[in-house]
Structure 1
């Protein structure tokens, strides 16, 4: 028994030496060793489970509006997306290495592709060139999206406008396989200030079909548009009303009104270069400027007509009758001069009857001159009467227009639907190519 016990101890000691020698020859595997081992696997394809569905968790989103083109109705944004997904082939057992995380090159493994359903153009950039991998195969990564989406906002009440634009962030779907994004509610707004448009908030919305999108709320700063468009148009109309105080004589009023019409066309050019001309919700400012231009032209034409009526009874231009009237007046003046000379000669000769006849002709001429002057005054008075009527007419028109304008702006007439790109009737099951650019 003692010999058998000694032999057992000897065998146990020898086996422990052999085991210790074997462990001493194997070097421990560090982080780089683990990373190189996973790079050598060349896992460029997506991790695929039994139902061929890849689930990517979007842990946080940082949104920033770069610009909004009011003319083209397009919004450009910068979106940083932090996401995680699980790839079991990238994991390792705790007995293999004691490190919980490693870093791998982003171009050596599979990275999910983010799709924007309503994007016109999208550029995807890697936030970093490396990804972090945990022991269980969970990969953490971040990408930055520079995207331009088409967004139709109700500009009917421009520049007093508020609206919202959707940014549909999704995965992709084919007939049997798909990439599903599970977006968290952690959506933050990085910057909301801009030159004209301001971003007030951004929220994650999930519709009835379980499709997620970011709803970006926008509002416009009305100060610049009010100072450059609305206020000048009101001041031009006020100047046109005040111009009714100018007299007809000399043509100062007509030239002033023509200047107002020409200057107002400048605001029309500014408006056409800044706002969209058509669409389902065309800005009310287009109709406002058209109304102002029509009123200015009508006021100018009325002033020209009244100037004509202050001189002639008829609006028809008859140059021949004016020449005949001028010739007749000159003939009467010549006859009067001749009669004055004859009267002076007759007076010298002492003929009392001839002197009375000459005086009678002078009296008749003066009476005719008085009639002509009274007729001219009557025409001018009639023209000024019509001028007062036109002044009151335009004041009434402007008051009625202001009331109608206030009522229209308070009514929700136009509505837009920015989610029409998700038309299920035209949706295909096959995957289609989205606009993207990888570095």
Structure 2
């Protein structure tokens, strides 16, 4: 602080020093005032800057958590997808889910001609989309994850005309792609009731259908989009799988079926069923060469009939079942049995004719023979009386010679009669043989025509008529 003393004359020498003192004092006051203001503002401004600096890392952490995934491994991603519990079908805006079937591997397991059923095995890969199981690959750097099949919904296929169908998963896991596409495989064993056309058995061939579909009603549900079909193990027992095609009844997507072409390998059935019956018939034809009067033909024919009946009883399980088109082989066996029995009866009748000269029953013929014998005895007794009288009258000469001559004449007459009966029986037997052989030739032509030139039609798609 500066003080001025003295008068006007005394102040001049002190002007510059006083001015400097006043400026310095003013500077000090200004500095002290600014220091006081700054000290009083620090407690108020400093907390705001601390709050701003604290909020900055929080915002940074929030944005960082929004761009950084909570887990980076496939297992963690799989657990996150499982937690969604997607156990219901995908719900699209059109209420339609397309199940793609890229390929089907078909195999015929067995063909039951007795019960008219056949069993097959199908390997069916499936693919469908579920948007709820998709994820962003820029956040989760994985294109595919493996999920347990028990935690995710899978489509269920069914066979419309199946008698018994079992479907199992080809694996306990499935693949899920980042765009929501799911890949899986199922294995189906199905027994289908198919009325196989056995009209030309054992030269049979036919088609059978396997209606493979999924659930759909009133335009809502699932529809199958098929690819190609292939087959494995074409030979199954006596049946050969020639071709497998995929068709749709009436062009509708909900009536899909596999059209399986089957053909029978006729070697084994022909050798075990048809050939033995032909050989038995040929043996019966050869039995006509046996003579009638020696009683050898009838036992042989009876053995043939019994052998054929035993043959049918043994092979009855191999014979195909009936149905809309009954197999010709059943009629063939019936014809063979009837012709064998008729041939045996014909031989019995002709043997009777050759021996007795009559077709009357045994009791009547015996009574007639006894009557003839009594007449002969009566004639003999009368001749004896005559001889006795001649003996008495002519001194009993030449009586023994007359008896011998009469006996020889009688034997010659009987031999001639027997020869006539045999000639008649042989002529009738020859006529019966010609008729028998003609019937067999006509039958052979007819059976060959029906076996190869005739057919029977069966509607295998009757289950689709709804």
Normalising by the smaller structure, the TM-score range is: 0.7 to 0.9
Please state if 1:79 is matched with 2:127.
Answer: no
Tell me, yes or no, if the aligned pair for 2:293 and 2:354 is still in contact at 8 Å: no
SS for the counterpart of 2:250 is coil
Tell me, yes or no, if the aligned pair for 1:336 and 1:361 is still in contact at 8 Å: no
Tell me, yes or no, if the aligned pair for 2:160 and 2:212 is still in contact at 8 Å: yes
Q: Write the distance in 2 (CA, Å) between the matches of 1:339 and 1:194.
A: 92
2:140 matched to which residue of 1?
Answer: 97
1:253 matched to which residue of 2?
Answer: 297
Question: Which of 1 and 2 has greater Rg?
Answer: 2
1:129 matched to which residue of 2?
Answer: 172
SS for the counterpart of 1:285 is helix
Identify the match of residue 172 of structure 1 among 194, 211, 215: 215
Tell me, yes or no, if the aligned pair for 2:200 and 2:452 is still in contact at 8 Å: no
- How much has 1:413 moved relative to structure 2? 3.5
Identify the match of residue 110 of structure 1 among 132, 153, 173: 153
Deviates more, 1:287-296 or 1:141-150: 287-296
- How much has 1:329 moved relative to structure 2? 5.3
Distance 1:140 1:376, change over 3 A: same
RMSD value, Cα: 2.8
- How much has 1:245 moved relative to structure 2? 0.8
Q: Write the distance in 2 (CA, Å) between the matches of 1:158 and 1:184.
A: 35
Q: Write the distance in 2 (CA, Å) between the matches of 1:310 and 1:374.
A: 13
- How much has 1:172 moved relative to structure 2? 1.6
2:440 matched to which residue of 1?
Answer: 398
Tell me, yes or no, if the aligned pair for 1:339 and 1:358 is still in contact at 8 Å: no
1:66 matched to which residue of 2?
Answer: 109
1:309 matched to which residue of 2?
Answer: 353
- How much has 1:110 moved relative to structure 2? 0.7
Q: Write the distance in 2 (CA, Å) between the matches of 1:152 and 1:17.
A: 76
- How much has 1:270 moved relative to structure 2? 4.6
Please state if 1:207 is matched with 2:249.
Answer: yes
What residue ranges of structure 2 are gaps of 5+ in the alignment? Answer: 1-52
- How much has 1:223 moved relative to structure 2? 1.0
Tell me the matched-pair count.
406
Please state if 1:243 is matched with 2:287.
Answer: yes
Higher RCO, 1 vs 2 (CA within 8 Å, ≥6 residues apart): 1
Deviates more, 1:204-213 or 1:158-167: 204-213
Q: How does 1:159-198 map to 2 (within 5 A)?
A: 159-185=202-228, 187-198=229-240
- How much has 1:373 moved relative to structure 2? 1.1
Q: Write the distance in 1 (CA, Å) between the matches of 2:378 and 2:394.
A: 26
Q: Write the distance in 2 (CA, Å) between the matches of 1:302 and 1:169.
A: 59
Please state if 1:32 is matched with 2:91.
Answer: no
Deviations 1:408-431 (A, max 9, x none): 22333311111100012xxxxxxx
Structure 1 length as normaliser, TM-score?
Answer: 0.85
2:460 matched to which residue of 1?
Answer: 418
Q: Write the distance in 2 (CA, Å) between the matches of 1:336 and 1:235.
A: 60
Q: Write the distance in 2 (CA, Å) between the matches of 1:219 and 1:259.
A: 37
Distance 1:83 1:359, change over 3 A: same
Structure 2 length as normaliser, TM-score?
Answer: 0.80
